[in-house]
Amino acid sequence: MRFFKAAILAGTVAVIAATSAFAADVKIGFVVKQPEEPWFQDEWKFADIAAKEKGFTLVKIGAQDGEKVQAAIDNLGAQGVEGFIICTPDVKLGPGIVAKAAANQLKLMTVDDRLVGADGKPLEEVPHMGISATKIGETVGQAIVDEIKKRGWDMKNVGAIRVSYDALPTAVDRVEGAISVLKGAGFPAENIYDAPQAKTDTEAALNAATTVLNKHADVKYWVAFGLNDEAVLGAVRATESVGIPAANVIGVGIGGADSAINEFKKPQPTGFFGTVIISPKRHGYETAINMYDWIANAKEPPKLTLTSGSLALRDDYQTVRKDLGLE
């Protein structure tokens, strides 16, 4: 009997050891297009929490262009990674990324920006988590319309800067969502000016918006929207640089990471009026857990998950963040 008990005990120990050895062996990659952007820093931070919780190793790589993406995937393969999550620098790399992942026998999941095929249609077989882009864009548009009314501006005298990055479908959906609400509220379509940014960062947005402002120097009031907080911050910085007072500017971004929060913390209000806070926890933690479950438990992630956003303004962002469990 004593021997029997000892055997059971030994067996239990062996099973536990095998499980934890397995978890420690799992390696998951997380590749992002713009590692310096606070949103992606936050995604990585939450993916790291998932790694600690489940005991897998997270390999984080920044890949700003197609070549770096190819190298990153080979690198992951060489390190014995079994699957990765990617926010690609260019959605048109889709078929190449799928092929590279397959060549390295890596499971693949995308986050934020959904891969497209040669026909421009989404690669639906690749599991994806993105934001509800149109709806979030509409929230941006509604916040702008409400504030225009509150400030008593006549829409005829307001210009809108559409900071655009039309190569990215989610960017188009976001700005078009905002525009549909503006137009629905009577905002004149001819007052909406496109400011195409060369890259999705603040500097590129500032340059694009400056061109629009210089062309329409007679316009008194401005609103601005775009793909993310960086885009809108660029437009706001542009209005400042040409001397438009903050009280004449309403910019509403998307994101809610440090770029936006630091702006709200400034003692004087700027033209950056609000942001729609989206969830880096869901996009970082949940995708990493999904990938882990896929590798360790053969549980495939859902093909498509779209997450929501919550509007936060300079005046109420702390409450909104608290309600979202962010502070």
The answer to whether residue 200 forms part of the interface with ligand FCA (CB under 6 A) is yes
The SS3 of residue 226 is coil
Binders of ligand FCA in range 279-318 (CB under 6 A): none
Closer residue to ligand FCA (CB): 183 or 321: 321
Closer residue to ligand FCA (CB): 192 or 232: 232
Sign (positive or negative) of CA dihedral 8, 10, 13, 17 = negative
Closer residue to ligand FCA (CB): 139 or 191: 139
The answer to whether residue 255 forms part of the interface with ligand FCA (CB under 6 A) is yes
The answer to whether residue 228 forms part of the interface with ligand FCA (CB under 6 A) is yes
Closest distance of CB 9 from ligand FCA, Å: 49
The answer to whether residue 90 forms part of the interface with ligand FCA (CB under 6 A) is no
Closer residue to ligand FCA (CB): 61 or 148: 61
Q: How many residues belong to the site for ligand FCA (CB under 6 A)?
A: 13
The answer to whether residue 227 forms part of the interface with ligand FCA (CB under 6 A) is yes
**Strand ranges (DSSP E) for 138-201?**
158-164, 192-196
**Strand ranges (DSSP E) for the chain?**
27-32, 57-62, 83-87, 107-111, 128-131, 158-164, 192-196, 221-225, 249-255, 272-277, 304-307, 310-313
List, as own/partner pairs, every contact residues 145-153 make where C-beta atoms lie below 8 angstroms and the sequence separation is at least 24, other chains included: 145/181, 145/182, 145/185, 145/187, 147/250, 147/273, 148/187, 148/221, 148/223, 148/250, 151/247, 151/250, 153/221
Sign (positive or negative) of CA dihedral 246, 252, 254, 257 = positive
Comparing CA positions, the residue from 198, 194, 253, 202 lying closest to residue 229 is 253
The answer to whether residue 145 forms part of the interface with ligand FCA (CB under 6 A) is no
Closer residue to ligand FCA (CB): 50 or 131: 131
Query: Binding string, 19-48, against ligand FCA, x = CB under 6 A?
Result: ------------------x-x---------
The correct pick among 31, 76, 115, 131 for binding ligand FCA (CB under 6 A) is 131
**Partners of residue 116 on adjacent β-strands:** 122
Closer residue to ligand FCA (CB): 148 or 311: 311
Enumerate binding residues for ligand FCA (CB under 6 A).
Answer: 37, 39, 87, 112-113, 131, 170, 200, 227-228, 254-255, 278
